[in-house]
Copies of this chain bind each other. A is one copy, B any other.
Amino acid sequence: MSETSKSTPTRPKKLAGVESWDMETDVAIVGFGGAGSCAAIEASDAGADVIIFEVSAASGGSTALSSAEVYMGGSGGTSVQKACGYEDTTEDMFNFLMAAQGELADEDKIRMYCDNSVEHFDWLVEMGAKYKNSEYKERAIMAVTDDCLLYTGNEKSYPFREIAKPCPRGHNLEVEGDNGGPMLMGVLTEQVEKRPIRVEYNARALTLIADEDGSIHGLVVRIDNQERTVRARRGVILCAGGFAMNQKMLEKHVPQASIGNVPVGNPGDTGNGILMGQGAGGAVLHMNEAFITLPFYPPGSLTFGIFVNAQAQRFINEDIYHARMAHHILKQSGKGIYLIVNHDDYEHPPFLNADIAGTGETIEELAEEIGLDPDMLRHTIEFYNKHAAKGDDPLFHKHEAWLKPIEPPYAALDCTPGSGALFPYFTFGGLDTLPTGEVLTMEREVIPGLYAAGRTACGVPRTSAGYGSGMSVGDATYFGRVAGKSVAGRKD
């Protein structure tokens, strides 16, 4: 690690070695996606000078590529929730999110997120985000109409419905099709442009600049193939996304993501922000956790089916969110995961891109086609059917709305990881931060001047077991704002 001219993210540049500053600002932000834009707006509104460094030629980040649903509620409900007849309490939202994140939950972040969620909704509206006072009632992974409110998580499924009163909290923008991401980033970009915020595009952040005590004073960026030193008097906010696009980091930290076939994110999600933070002494947290999903609906009617493993056993209630299903698929022993449905509940082609592994007029015929033990499959289907006919699922407590006997003719969709079925993924692991965005050492000491938000940090969403659409963009935009205010409030 002898000093060379080449900067690497995990080796901060020494403040003493900075001969002159090429740029100076109060707040330097790495990344112009959901987190970075919100951080910039709030820091600027708090009176700070701000420069955003974006590695690509335009704003957007991974938020622009998402549906940009935002998970919001509590405090009696957002105006949309209220208009749709829902009175959402903060405690229900909090209890749900705590249960959803389970043993990985960051209580402080979840508490703050829930307490301020309606305020965040109002702020997004103030920024220009448009939400219609309407509900999208299909079981869907995203609204494809311009309707707003939809269930995007496991709220109505067991055990969550017994822990907190279910309420839809996914807020979809008023736009047809899956076009929320560009719309949200359009709105936020416009707000950035309205303010005295400088944006440097095609600017690659290389490493942080730290003093003898480890405090952060700026960063080195490469612009026009030149390394530039940037002084950030109040601090640097890393909003550079996760590492879904860094194959080496994935193999090292999230080997189970190798079953994934569609990385979700933009090409800049290389983990660079995480590496920069870690090099400056920041701790990383839950680097093994990722959103890995099997979007097995729409159509919602497939939820009437049952998932079975290689032993022809059911293993979870099928009315759960799609990433929770993938989470449980990855826990099964042996090779083979099938979604068994009655022919009439199937629509071709399925969104999840699964092949039909087999069909049958009888259970035995189906079992033979898909290579499962016929006695096991018969018992599984008959046991399920017997109870489903009574609106009951004694094993996994699937909601009665999705219970009906599965009658022949049967179809089995091949959902085996690696079979070709769609398994999108992105990363949850990142820098350990306080809710304020301050990056922590492994002993949870604050690194002065260093902040992170969005998927560069380990935020509210931490596990596929409890993820719901809108949690990542919600976390990124909300905690991006908080980080922007925090750093602006720090004295130089």
Contact = CB atoms under 8 A, between A and B. Distances in A.
Interface stretch (A40-48, A228-236, A274-282): A274-282
A444 to B, nearest CB: 8
Given A11-B214, A286-B288, A333 B311 contact: no
Nearest to A288: B288
A212 B17 CA distance: 10
A82 interface: no
Copy tally for this chain in the complex stands at: 2
Contact of A443 (B9, B315, B334, B379): B9
A162 interface: no
Interface residues of A, number: 56
Interface string A194-217: 000000000000000000111100
Contacts of A446: 1
Interface in A256-311: 256, 258, 274-275, 278-279, 281, 283-289, 311
A452 B139 CA distance: 51
Given A212-B3, A313-B313, A445 B373 contact: no
B255 A104 contact: yes
Given A1-B447, A213-B2, A396 B281 contact: no
Contacts of A334: 395-396
A334 to B, nearest CB: 8
Contacts of A278: 283, 442
A310 to B, nearest CB: 8
Interface string A166-195: 000000000000000000000000000000
A75 interface: no
A155 B446 CA distance: 47
A357 interface: no
A217 to B, nearest CB: 13
Interface string A368-410: 0000010110010001000000000011100000000000000
Contacts of A383: 375-376, 379
A252 B285 contact: yes
A174 B1 CA distance: 47
A274 B283 CA distance: 12
Contacts of A258: 103
Contact of A281 (B279, B288, B315, B394): B279
A308 to B, nearest CB: 11
12 contacts: A2-B213, A2-B215, A8-B443, A10-B441, A11-B281, A104-B255, A275-B442, A279-B281, A279-B441, A287-B287, A333-B396, A376-B395
Q: Which 6 A-B pairs have the closest CB atoms?
A: A103-B255, A331-B331, A10-B441, A1-B214, A311-B395, A379-B379
Given A1-B215, A252-B432, A379-B383, 18 more contacts: A1-B213, A1-B214, A1-B445, A10-B442, A10-B443, A10-B445, A11-B281, A253-B286, A274-B442, A275-B442, A278-B283, A279-B281, A287-B287, A328-B333, A331-B331, A333-B396, A334-B396, A375-B383
